[in-house]
Chains A and B, each alone.
Chain A
Amino acid sequence: MAVRFQIVIDCQDPEPLARFWAAALGYKFEPPPAGFATWDDYWRDVGVGEEELGIGEDRIIDPDGSGPRIWFQVVPELKAVKNRLHVDISVGGSRAVPLETRRQRVDAEAERLAGLGASYVRVLSEEGLDHYAVAMHDPEGNEFDIN
């Protein structure tokens, strides 16, 4: 069986995006393998050419080990259309939490992430619907929702 998975996000410049998502999720940069001071040292040892090194931090992990690793992969092409995969970030809590409390938590988190470089897309809320979410873009325009 496939025992575990990581999420790969194509990007132009990995380190700023890795920094944003680490701050968003409480993740940290993944340390290089034992015996290597930096990831570049490790990849050099693997045989990767210098032209592919020096891109900065590009992998983040959950310090708790519960969330998946995220790798920001440099690609030549720019984002062209809405992503067909996106992540939902949960801060509001379950439906046992009153809607107004969830709304306050979601809005506070959206404001925090906006301060880190995310931008607002829209509020996902309907009269009579027990759901509140905010749709945002990360610093490279990748869609995500906070609920």
Chain B
Amino acid sequence: MADTRRVGRISDIVIDCAHPASLARFWAAALDGYAVAPYDDEEIERLRSLGIFDVEDDPTVLVEGPGPGLLLQRVPEPKRVKNRVHIDLVAADPDSEITRLLSFGASIVETYDSHVWLADPEGNEFCVSLTPST
């Protein structure tokens, strides 16, 4: 429980992007047990009150799962340099995981002995370790 823990915990990793809804789908598909947070009536009404009538235009989209959430947040500025913070993925079968990630929008930037450096559909760097998880 967040309310009883002695110190804070990471609730979300916030990712700046151009189109939160589509990047949220990518990361929900990438991470085991994660999904785009469902829109209930209250949330749809809240968006309407902001003049947003299509959830595809939601400026902040949450991807939730067993660990910290990923909060995709629309920002006006484009990505300019390599991100200084990134996510490393570990998979039971790294090669097939990379093939799977490529099938829905990831691209390979460079391959190393220990890991493959990829980019999400908006160019955010992430890595997949070539050491299978146990």
Q: A2-B89, A5-B67, A5-B90 are in contact. Are A85 and B10 (CB under 8 A)?
A: no
- Which residues of chain A from 41 to 70 have any CB-CB distance to chain B below 8 Å in the complex? 66-68
For chain B, residues 70 to 126, give those with C-beta under 8 angstroms from any C-beta of chain A: 71, 75, 79-81, 83-92, 97, 100-101, 124
Taking the nearest CB of chain B, how far is it from the CB of A90, in angstroms?
4
The docked-state distance in angstroms from the alpha carbon of A137 to that of B44 is 33
Interface residues on A, range: 35 or more
A147 to B32, CA, bound (A): 26
- Among B14, B15, B87, the residue within 8 A (CB) of A5 is B87
Chain B residues lying within 8 Å of A93, measured Cβ to Cβ, are 2-3
Complex CA gap A10/B85 in Å reads 6
Choice from A75, A81, A87 contacting B13 with Cβ under 8 Å: A87
Given the interface pairs A10-B84, A66-B67, A84-B16, the reply to whether A94 lies near B2 with Cβ below 8 Å is yes
Q: How far is the CB of B19 from chain A (nearest CB, A)?
A: 14
Partner of A81, one of B68, B80, B88: B80
- Asked if A26 is at the interface of the complex by the 8 Å CB criterion, the answer is yes
B127 in the interface (beta carbon within 8 A): yes
User: Are A85 and B14 also in contact (CB < 8 A) when A1-B91, A3-B32, A80-B81 are?
Assistant: yes
A139 smallest CB distance to B (angstroms): 14
What is the minimal beta-carbon distance from A105 to any residue of chain B, in angstroms? 9
Kindly supply a per-residue 1/0 record for chain B positions 1-22, scoring 1 wherever the CB is within 8 Å of any chain A CB and 0 otherwise.
0110111111111111100000
Known: A2-B32, A83-B84. A90 touches B91 (CB 8 A): no
